[in-house]
A and B are shown apart, each in its own frame.
Chain A
Amino acid sequence: MTLYIQLLLNTLQIGSVYMLFALGLTLIFGVMKVVNFAHGTFFTAAALAIATVMPPAMYQLGLPVWAAYLIAFVAALAVVAVIGIVVYQFGFQKFLRDLIGSFILSIGLVLFLNGSYLAIFGGAPQKVPPLIDVNLSIFGAYITGQRLLLVVVAVGVTVGLYWLIQKTKLGLSLRAVAEDQEAAMLQGIQFRRVALYGFLIGTVLAAIAGAMMAPVHAITTVIGDEFLIKAFIIIIVGGLGSVGGAIIGAFLIAFIESVGGYYFDNSTATIAMFVLVMVVLLLRPQGIMGHAER
């Protein structure tokens, strides 16, 4: 029993990071029809920003750990938002709805940004102190307070995103553009502005995931890329552009990873995920929640 609860808790904590990551990807795809391989670099930038800002804020300014983290968190979001705006204005804007062009651009960005991170920060992994240094026990299963916080934030952000997409005017525009760009433009929706907002929301989601992951994971200059292949599997299984699909897919993949990782090992779990993708494709080529690709 304890084992099952532990595996469930593991699924929850892995899944919540995957969810944030995949939601950003799927949102960007839905609005811009762009497959953004550079999504991981936003995640990395946020984690690196935390690692850069937090220690001096704590040791030189003498701030308590939560205040230092809060400042670093804001800095991380700002850095990623700036990168996002620059990348959109000078790059992706020219490749809206151009799958191959935008893919190539995003690959160029991955190489360029990851290379730059390595040149600036070096290859050694960095660590920052945890925010909450307690372990919680639930029916004999353990979870660190830090990771529980991560789950809570991820769920909160997802609820917020859901509200934004379902209830606000911007959300309506995002959905309209994702559904049919030309019809949306005929209704007076400014496609380019909506695409920019969609892209920025997606990058900020990656930044939140990266900033939340920083205190629980060794921070390297390629930390974000580890999530890329799984995030892609998640959005294929869930259906490209589908928010609900990304959430279901994230926890499904996290479940396979935590159970497969416990009984076998991580590589076997990844191979199992791929087999799952193939089965889903044979049965439902458009993913669990996706619409038919026409």
Chain B
Amino acid sequence: MLNGKAGLALCILAGLGAIAFTLFADSPYYVQVVVWIFTNALLAASLRFVLLIGELNIATAAFFGIGAYTVGIATTIYDWPFLVAIVAAPLVAAAVSALFGWITLKTKGPYFLLISFAFTEVVRLVYSKSNAIGGNSGLIGIFPPMALDPWFPALVVTIMGGTLLALFWIEKTNLGRLFKAIQNNEDIVRSVGLNVTWLKVLCVIIASAAVGLGGGLHAYANSVITPGDFTFFVAVLALAYVKIGGEGHALGPIVGAVLLTVAGQWVAGLGMQENIFYGAIIIGAILLMPQGLVGIAARVAGVAVRKGGEGTR
């Protein structure tokens, strides 16, 4: 149902619809919500991409922040042009993630999870300690070029949608199959002569470049960034999107991001305790539907989906 060409066409159609919406909608608020949905979907897709090799990468939040800070520094301090800054964001995120992955991917499972958590919090501390990049108050005035302004949300949504498609496409190639094979049994992959550690680092680099680009676009769309925007909590929410949507399919994180972003807006409007709401949703989802909404939909349609959450040991 979801894997065929029809499913892909449906996704692209929905993406085009979103782009058209950002171009023609009257309300800046709804346009903003669409941009948030795509940002969150990209975060969730990047987190899920590293889940392909069986690792939970909390540092997704850190690389999102590194992309945003790259754009912020390039724009407000060095006055680099838009195009250079936006290309630099994924490159810097990829470079840092290569070093990070090279050191940390010697470990796996709980060690990697905890180190990626510590890395995220430490990177945030570094921002708030560095007065040259605004310290605790962050960077302000990150604007896209004036000429782009009217269609900037459409541009953001287009690039983010394209990145989501690219991640989906990589997952379908032989490289993506290798990543899944590493999750299932990395010794078998090693036994045919492939360098497993290098493949894992590559997976983290791809995911980090994607989310770094997302962070760069987020910096422009928001025009203000602070260290507090990039806590490990960003990755936790991304994980909630993945879990609620279902991690068995590339569409899962996107479905989750749409639902939770909209629901989050609704809750914020009610003035309720947001944390209790998100906590209850996460607990309910993991207890009641461990394979997420896409998993349930697939089961209804009679399609077997890879069982998620296992294979990490």
Contacts and interface: CB of A to CB of B under 8 A. Distances in A.
A100 B24 CA distance: 41
A282 interface: yes
Interface in B19-45: none
Interface of B: 51, 56, 103-104, 106-111, 113-115, 117-119, 121-122, 125-126, 128-129, 236, 239-240, 243, 273-283, 286-287, 290, 308-310, 312-313
Contacts of A95: 286
A35 interface: yes
Contact of A281 (B106, B126, B283, B312): B106
A179 interface: no
A274 B236 contact: no
A235 interface: yes
A67 interface: no
B275 A114 contact: yes
Contact of B273 (A100, A115, A270): A115
15 contacts: A35-B110, A91-B287, A97-B313, A99-B110, A101-B309, A104-B243, A107-B240, A107-B282, A112-B276, A112-B280, A115-B274, A115-B276, A236-B111, A271-B122, A293-B109
B124 to A, nearest CB: 10
Nearest to A119: B273
A283 to B, nearest CB: 10
Interface string A3-36: 0000000000000000000000000010001010
Interface of A: 29, 33, 35, 90-91, 94-95, 97-101, 103-105, 107-116, 118-119, 229, 232-233, 235-236, 240, 267-268, 270-271, 274, 277-278, 281-282, 285-287, 293
A113 B119 contact: no
A267 B274 CA distance: 28
Given A236-B115, A240-B111, A100 B103 contact: no
A101 B125 contact: no
Nearest to A104: B286
A285 B106 contact: yes
B309 to A, nearest CB: 5
A108 B237 CA distance: 10
Contacts of B128: 267
Contact of A116 (B107, B119, B276, B308): B276
Contacts of A33: 110, 313
Contacts of B125: 267, 270-271
A14 B143 CA distance: 45
Contacts of A271: 122, 125-126, 129
Nearest to B310: A98
Nearest to A239: B111
Nearest to A268: B129
A251 to B, nearest CB: 19
B312 A109 contact: no
User: Nearest 4 A-B pairs (CB), nearest first?
Assistant: A112-B279, A111-B279, A108-B282, A115-B275
A229 B309 contact: no
Contacts of B290: 101
B103 A274 contact: no
A281 B279 contact: no
Nearest to B236: A107
Contacts of B113: 35, 99, 103
A37 B106 CA distance: 23
B309 A98 contact: yes
A107 B129 contact: no
Contacts of B115: 236, 277, 281
